[in-house]
Each structure stands twice: as structure tokens, then as C-alpha cells.
Amino acid sequence: MPDQSAFRLPDLAGKAVLVTGASTGIGAALAIAYAEQGCRVALHYNSSAGEAEAVAAKIRGAGGEVFLTRGDFGRSADVTRVVEESAEKFGRLDGLVNNAGGMLGRVPYAGMTDGQYDRVRDVRGRSVITACRVALPWLKRHGGFIINTSSIAARNGAGGGAGLYGSSKAFVSNVTRGMAKEFIRFGIRVNAVAPGTILTPFHERYSSAEQMKGMVATIPQGRAGTAEDCVGAFLFLSSDAMSGYVTGQIIEVNGGQLMP
């Protein structure tokens, strides 16, 4: 597991960053990593209050600044409130990481209902657009970055009832490209990170041991990834010093499972 605390990106210090879906998994690792870089972190969560408090306690214990904000990202009103109150808390917003939302269950296309489609659309698609739209006036003040969490499923179609999830991630990837073209004139870079098979509560909830074994067998590095394996790509895309001429890109972090 990489030691993210060893990396120092001075241009991130003091920036205010909102990480959505940050109570567990990749989001939690990102909240901690941004705090270690000296960022002021808004940590969004929905149902996992205890886990969110634990992440916040770890950040505060290390001398970092964190603001907890709760909201259901299936509701646009909650998305709007979370972004606004995070920016108002710090008096600025320099970065937005759209990481909220899980698979919401494995559902074959043949058995999908309108309700299931609507929920995935709202949480995985509409929330990203809403969060970016609300954050835009704040990000325009100083320039900044948006990083969306996509997935390997956006390119390979997913499987095992995860097709709708994969399609929503493909939507996120293309929204990333479109926003990159629109927002760069404001000094805002928009990119995405697409994790592969990562050991997080996501797979604990939605993947059986047999499914995980099958997925790991397709990874040239011979193991599933960790949340910490993803952090470096996000930090790279956050730093103007490291990636100031990078926008509209999707970085694949998957141990060679997919080589586009």
C-alpha cells in the first residue's frame, strides 16, 4: 500500500476541497490525503455517519481542517445545499471531487424497472452535473479543478447485473470531456479517474467471493487495488504544478485490467 503522506504538493496547501461520498472507500482515502496536503476538506456523506465521523476524527487528530456535511445525492436540493454550505464554510471552493454514489444493486437490463433506472440516473448522473453547476461560480473566483470518479465499467460494459452502473459511469466520463471544454476558459480543469477492481465496501456489498476471484484473475498485477492506490491519480490531477496542461482526461487505475 503506497504511503500517500510522503507526497508533498505545496500548491494544494490552503485550498478548499469538497469530496463527495467520502465516508468510506476511495472517498475516505481522498479526504485524508487532501488534508495531509494542507487542504481544508469538506467531507460529504449520506448514510454512513459513524464512518464519516471516524474519518473526520483522523483528519483533526493529525491537525487538519475538516467540515462534515450530509446529504442524499439522489436529491438535487441536497446536492445544492452540500456544495453551497461547504463553499460558504471556507469562504471559497478550489476543488470538487464527485465521488458519491454506489452501484445501488446488481440489476440485469432485462429486469430493470423505471424506479431503478431513475435512482441510478439521479445519484450517478444528475448529481455530478448539479454539483458542478452549483460549484462553478465559486471555482471561477480563483480557478480550480473538478475530478469525477468514473470506472473501468464505463469502458468494458460491466457485467453481472452492473451494466446500468457501467452505463452511468460512461455518462460521467463523457460529461467530464464536455465540461472540460466549457470550463477551461474560466481556469477550471475537469478530469476523471476510472478505478478498476478496488477493495472497498462497494465490492463487500455487491460482489461475491466468486465474482471477486474472477475479476482478480483478469488483472495482470495479480491483485485487486486499494483505495490508496487511487489517491495519487487524484492528487496529480488536483495540482496545477503537476497537471496544469491536463484537462478532459480519464486516468485508468486498474493494475492493467484494461489497457485502452
Active site residues: 165
Q: d(Cα 134, Cα 118) in Å, to the nearest integer?
A: 21
Sheet strands side by side (includes 16-19): 65-70, 40-45, 16-19, 95-98, 144-149, 188-195, 250-253
- 153 CB-near residues (< 8 Å, 6+ apart): 162, 165, 166, 169, 170
Residues 126 and 117: beta-carbon distance below 8 Å: no
DSSP characters over 139-170: HHHH-EEEEEE--THHHH---TT-HHHHHHHH
Residue 174 has a CB neighbour count (10 Å cut-off) of 14
User: What values do phi and psi take at 78, rounded to 5?
Assistant: -70, -40
CB 124 within 8 A of CB 172: yes
Whether residue 52 contacts residue 45, with contact meaning beta carbons closer than 8 Å, is answered with yes
Three-state DSSP class for residue 137: helix
In angstroms, the first-to-last Cα distance of the chain is 25
C-alpha span between 63 and 77 (Å, rounded): 32
